[in-house]
Amino acid sequence: MKRRGADSARSSLLGSFRPSCAFYSVVILLRRFVLIALLTFITQSLYVWLTLANNAFLVLHMLLWPYRHAADSWLELLTLSAPSFQTTLLAVESVP
């Protein structure tokens, strides 16, 4: 009985990813951690660092295309593109 619970928990965490990208949930947590750390600890050139981080995670997503369904990957791509675009504009404006 406990085995079914473990299988269903694993399925709910990893079920939407392709088998070769089962680690991608860790990448999502890492992305959140990096963005929070940047916002907390960086004071100089914040938008430049945010742009670099957002673009790095955007490129990683485009290279891996981790979701089983293409629609999920496209939605994640749009979700990652918005902050990447915004921080790029802010970084360009903040450079003297």
pLDDT recorded at residue 74: 97
pLDDT recorded at residue 96: 75
pLDDT recorded at residue 15: 73
Overall average pLDDT of the 13-36 stretch? 90
Domain extents in the chain = 2-94
Q: How far apart are CA 19 and CA 36, in angstroms?
A: 29
Question: In the numeric block, which tokens belong to residue 35?
Answer: 């963005």
Overall average pLDDT of the 31-57 stretch? 95
Q: Please say whether the beta carbons of 58 and 27 come within 8 A.
A: no
